[in-house]
Structure formats: structure tokens, C-alpha cells
Chain A
Amino acid sequence: MKEPVKIKERPSSERGSNFDEVVLGYSEAEALEEAKRCLQCKNPLCSQGCPVGIDIKKFIKEITEKDYKSAYLTIKETNNFPSICGRVCPAEYQCRKACVLTKKGSVFASDNAINIHFLERFAGDFGKDEQVVNPSKPRAALSGKRVAVVGSGPASLCCAGELARNGVEVTIFEGLHKTGGVLRYGIPPFRLPRNMLDFEIDHLKKIGVKIVTSFIIGKAKTLDEIFAEGYSAIFLGLGAGIPSFLGVEGENLCNIYSANEFLTRVNLMEAYKYPQFHTPVNIGKSMVVIGGGNTAMDAARVALRLQKMAGLEPDTTVIYRRTEVEMPARRLEIHHAKEEGVKFEFLVQPVSFGGDKDGCVSALKVLKCELGEPDPSGRRRPVPVKGSETDIECDGVVIALGLQANTLLTNVVPGLKVDKYKDIVVDPETMATSLEGVYAGGDIVGGEGTVIEAMGMGKKAARAIIDHIA
């Protein structure tokens, strides 16, 4: 069997001082070669690994036939934004892990598994560049019906697109001044160039979706008021927006950021172009990032770039309490972070922060850990070793420990059922909430997940909404 086709990447030496995209994608010849490696299994396991069940076998076959348009449309049947997913989807835990070419029992996909995500990106970019249109199919029964979509993350964008294609009048209300949710404020442009996102959002506008930014539902308008204005249904794609902190001493010292604040300053407010953009961010000589997920990798790679841009010797360390295999981040991001010079310290757990006289962080105290018995997630639990405290000197810290439900709206809607994590409770078949005509999806349902899961839920909700209002 042929070797997997490597994806072209910007050399790490060229990545330091800019936010340009790192993964450059397959050429046509490379895509063809990779697509040909697919065994076209009788019983394609890959699709079972994809949260939205993309017909992977079919779109790969279409690529081998050079029918890229069909490949694009095949993906679009279940995934509205292939160019985005092809860039950010953790395929090694999903479709690629399920691919027959992955060794049985491995934690994530084997290298040999088909590079489904890269092929998806190739087909997605083809569709985008060639302006392939997924034709709208307005339904008479839906004409004149209006639906409000709250939030503009992937769940909402997907739901809005699906509704609009069926002829529903959709208005998106987004609290921030720009759309995209985490795709805009969280994921850095070197992973997801902003023109990808803008393209998809412009397309929504073209098919008639109205977008109102800087508008918080629950503050500027209630759900009841939306219904009273004549909307037939509401979709809530509120996301998991509230950063978790460690709850240890010294955590409010200056220059300790949540990943959300750090990334929002840089990605949304474009602090990396300060002073041309006016929002500042403080970048230290020694940065520490706490966590092991995508957010931690993004924060570390951003921190490293900012150090280089400021003319500092790059010095950014990721601290994680388990080991590399247990890190929930995409493997590619871990690989890129290392390549770019991010350092890793495994099996250490933060204990407290120390500061200087101005109240700025100057050190992080950590305990060494050992791996103990598996926890409910199946990963071995880190157990701190008594008396193993050490201090790590640092003058900037980013805490990337995950996010909790955004409660701005759910706190003020009586009767909307939420669970103990403040996530909205839905019927998994329809994404309907406890309130008539109100649906929800994305990270506000079931906690932090992935872009493709959020989109899947948005799409499922759109179908249920159509049934409800038609």
C-alpha cells in the first residue's frame, strides 16, 4: 500500500512573525493520489466515525474521478462548511479513527488512515473557488415564515443556512460586534483564515439571512418579544463561553489571562496589530499556558508568535497534568506547536501563583504528578506527588481549562430547562427545548464539543424547525 500523501505546510521558520495559514493544502495531483489510497470499503466504517455521517466513500470516489463538484456537493449534503471543517475538524478522533486503516484499539487515527479531512478541505476549497452553488429549494409552505437564530457560532450559521435554503426568513442575533463565535474569537487565523469564514457568512447574506450584531437576546430583547414580533421559532446557539479558572491562590494577578480573553484580544480585537488596532495585550518574556486541549495549543502558538513579533526570544511552555497521549488537542496542533518551538511540561499540576509588588504574576508553583487509576473518561488520573513543589518563573500566563455554558440568556428565561451544568436540555431527535418553538444546539447542549458536532446539531434543529412551522 502507498504511503499517505503529506500535506504541504509553511516551514516553521516562516511562521514566527505572522498569522498566515500554516497548513497549505493538497494540490490536485496530491489530492488524487491520496484519494486513490482509499479502499472504497464495502462497509465504510469511516462514515460511522463522522458526527454528521458524511458519505466519505462517495466523495473520495468522486475526487478520484476528478468530479470535484460532485465531491463538494456530496459533502455539503451533511456538512455545510467543508472548507472550515477540513481545517479544524479533529478527524483523528472521528472519521480517520474509524477508518479501516487505523490499527484496532488505538487512541487516535494511525498515520496510515486516509487523510479524509485534507480531502474534504480540497473539495471544499474547490467548491468555494469555483463558486459551486448548492441550489436553494424554497418551499411554498415556508414562505413568509420567520425564524430567529441566537448566536453566530457554527451551530447557528449552519441552522440559519439550512433554514434559508428552504425559504425561511432568518435573522441572526449576535452579541459580539462580529459573527462566527469561536471560529472568529477563539481559533486563530493561522488555523482558519478569516476569508474562509467571511466567505461562508457572505454566502448566508446572499441567500437572504439577516444579521444583527451587537445585540444580546435576554438583554436587548426577550424570547417572548421575539415571538410577539411574528417569529415562528427560535434557535439558540449560545455556545460555551464562560472560561473556567483554577480557583488557586494568586489567580487574579495581572497578566494571568483566561484563554478566552487572550485569544479574544488577539483574534477578535486584533491586538497583534497594536497600536494600529487599539486593544492591547501583554506578552511576557516567559509565557506559561495551562491545559492540553485545542484552546491551549492555540494560546501557546499565539503567545509564541507574539513573542517573536515583539523581538523576544521565544519562550512559551505548555503545562499539562497528564501526558501527551492524553492531551485532547488535535494531534496536528500539538505537532505544529512543537515544530514552532513551544515547550511542554507533562505531569505537572498548578498549585498557586506568586506575584511582584505591582501585582503582576512572577511565578507558578506546580506539583509533579504520576498517572494513577483510570478516571470515568478512561484516561489515567494524574495523582500529585507530595512534596514535589517547584516554582516556574514566568511573567505571563494563559489558563486554558475549558469553558462552561453561556448563561446570559438561560438565566433570564423562566421555563427553559437546563441541567446542572447550565446546559440546555433538548430532545436529541429534534433539538427541541422545554419551550414550545425554541430549539438549541452546539456547545450550549452537552457542553464543549467540536465544530462539526455543533453544525450537526444546527442542521438537525433546522429540519425539526421546518417540520414545526411548515
Chain B
Amino acid sequence: MKILYKENLVDIPGTKVTKIDIEAPHIAAKAKPGEFVVLMVSENGERLPLTVVNADVKKGAITLIFQEAGYSTALLGKMSVGDSLYSLVGPLGHATEIKNYGKVILVGGGVGIAEIYPVAAAFKKAGNLVTTILGARTKDILILEKELREASTELLVATDDGSYGRKGFTTDILNDLLSANKDYSLVYAVGPIPMMKKVAEATLPFKVKTVASLNALMVDGTGMCGCCRVTVGGHVKFSCVDGPEFDAHQVDWEELGKRNRVYIQKEKHICKLSLGGSSK
């Protein structure tokens, strides 16, 4: 559980994204694209779910990439190479179904870009033509562009402010691709909830299978508490054991958005108390 490597991918006011490699041979040996781990920074910490971005069996290490969203991710960001986490469990969740679909589109927004990376690489290896669309607020916070260019057949970028790639949203590019070409078999999206919702709306008229990896709040990550429950196609599912990937057309996005904000007051309070001002 020792941190072997650490790199700041983005470090500008308001946005901090960090990559760490953690020693975890038993997880590295098993983790597949789409799976995640739950970690605790300290004994009094929260259980924090993060996607396994890369698993290096030889080194016995896994790579995590996280954005500082609140208190626990900020504490993780303060850890240095050589420090050990209090706990780390995984791999958890269902792995992505990797097969040759033909042509697929991956959409990554914000730190979700990190989460599509292993999926893109696996899809390409399985023989798919992989078109990857990356979205970021602005050029400075775009991550893993080089890596994803390698892991994809084609890479397209949208920034909200037009500082790089196309000005606009990932869904603008997605719409154009789907309108121009009818033979995409799968769209896979990870990013902020509003983005994933928009992706689902964009692909629905084209009847393309669309999968999103949800980031519901979690506690144990093993199906024991129901904190991560989401409504999919009118049925209650536990994200951690039934997902985290679901049919994006069936997800109740509004409910998920509300459930993920349920501790917002408390989180603001602990950040102010302990980190000296909001980390946002």
C-alpha cells in the first residue's frame, strides 16, 4: 500500500489532478479495465472509491488518477512517495465487457478521461476502431491526451472555452460523428453526471448502445450498505456490485445527481475546518 510514484497532472487554482502508483501486487494481478478500488488515507478517513487506471503486474503496482474534489481526495493529494495508505481493497465492481464491437466511441470528461483510458486501450487491443472524444473546461486541465492518442484510433478534443480543439462540449462532436456515420456499435462515457446524461440523450435518437460508468457515493463498495443505489430502468441497483457500468439510456440521472450532493454541507464544513478554506 506504499505510494511508489506521484505526479501532478494538473495543478492550477481550482483544479488539481494527481497520478499515483501504489504497491498492491494482489490487486495488480487481478484488476481489469472498468474495475475500481476503495482506499482509506488514514484510520479515521473515509472509504474512497477510485478507478484502477492501470495495473502493472510486473511492478506489482496500480495507477490511480484523482481530482481533488473535497476533503478526502485533498488528503490523498497530500501524501508523498514512500507514504502508505491505511487500507486499500479491490478490485471491485464488474469489469468492462471487452470484445470486438467494430466501431466504438469513448467519451471522457474531466477526470473521467483517466477512467476511459484502460477501456480505450483494451477495446483497441480487441480489434475495435476506437474514436475517443475528450472534454475539458480549458486546455490546461486536459489530461492523458498523449496516452489516449496512442490507445485510440482517432482522438478528438472539445474545450468549453475553445482554448484547444473544438469549442463546445463533447456531445457536439458526438452528435456530428453519429449523424455522419451510422455504424457505431457502442458509446462508452465517463465524466461529470451532466455530461454522461447529455451523452445518453445524444445517442438515444441514433439507437446506439450507450454505457456509462457511474460515480455514485459509496461506503463499503461490496454490496453491503446500499449507499450506492441507483435507479436503472425502474429497478434499484447497487453501483458497486451491479455496476459501476450501466445502460446510460436507463439511468435516472436526476436522482443520481441529487444523491451525490447529500453531504455537500458537511463536506464544506470539514474542508473549512481542517484544510483552511474551501479546497474548491
Query: Which residue of chain A lies nearest to B91 when distances are taken between CB atoms in the complex?
Result: A219
Q: Given A215-B89, A219-B90, A279-B46, are A274 and B223 neighbors across the interface (CB < 8 Å)?
A: no
In the complex, whether B280 has a CB less than 8 A from a CB of chain A is no
B35-51 CB contacts (< 8 Å) to partner A: 40, 44-47
Residues in chain B near residue A360, CB distance under 8 A: 258, 262
A200-225 CB contacts (< 8 Å) to partner B: 213-216, 219-221
In the complex, whether A468 has a CB less than 8 A from a CB of chain B is no
Contact status A278-B89, CB under 8 Å? no
- Residue from B75, B222, B236, B252 in contact with A408 in the complex, judged by beta carbons closer than 8 Å: B222
Query: Which residue of chain B lies nearest to A176 when distances are taken between CB atoms in the complex?
Result: B220
The 8 A CB mask of B214-240 against A (1 = contact, 0 = none) is 000001101111110111000010000
Assembly CA distance A270 to B87 (angstroms)? 16
Residues in chain A near residue B219, CB distance under 8 A: 261, 264-265, 269, 279
Contact status A277-B225, CB under 8 Å? no
Nearest CB in chain B: distance from A257 CB, A: 8
Contact status A214-B47, CB under 8 Å? no
Q: Given A359-B258, A360-B262, are A278 and B44 neighbors across the interface (CB < 8 Å)?
A: yes
Interface stretch, picked from A97-105, A248-256, A323-331, A338-346, is: A248-256
In the complex, whether B241 has a CB less than 8 A from a CB of chain A is yes
B56-102 CB contacts (< 8 Å) to partner A: 71-72, 75, 86-92
Nearest CB in chain B: distance from A397 CB, A: 12
Assembly CA distance A176 to B229 (angstroms)? 19
Among B47, B220, B263, find the residue whose CB has the most chain A CB atoms closer than 10 A.
Answer: B220
With an 8 Å Cβ cutoff, the count of chain B residues facing the other chain is 45
Assembly CA distance A314 to B119 (angstroms)? 50
Assembly CA distance A240 to B75 (angstroms)? 33
- Residue from B75, B225, B263, B274 in contact with A280 in the complex, judged by beta carbons closer than 8 Å: B263
- Residue from B71, B92, B220, B266 in contact with A264 in the complex, judged by beta carbons closer than 8 Å: B220
A→B interface (CB under 8 Å): 175-177, 213-216, 219-221, 241-243, 245, 247, 251-252, 254-255, 257-258, 260-261, 264-265, 269-270, 273-280, 282, 358-360, 406-408
Q: What 11 additional pairs, Cβ within 8 angstroms, besides A220-B26, A269-B47, A275-B270?
A: A214-B88, A216-B92, A241-B224, A243-B226, A258-B226, A265-B219, A275-B269, A278-B46, A278-B71, A279-B47, A406-B224
Cβ contacts A to B, 6 pairs, < 8 Å: A220-B27, A220-B91, A242-B224, A243-B225, A258-B226, A406-B223
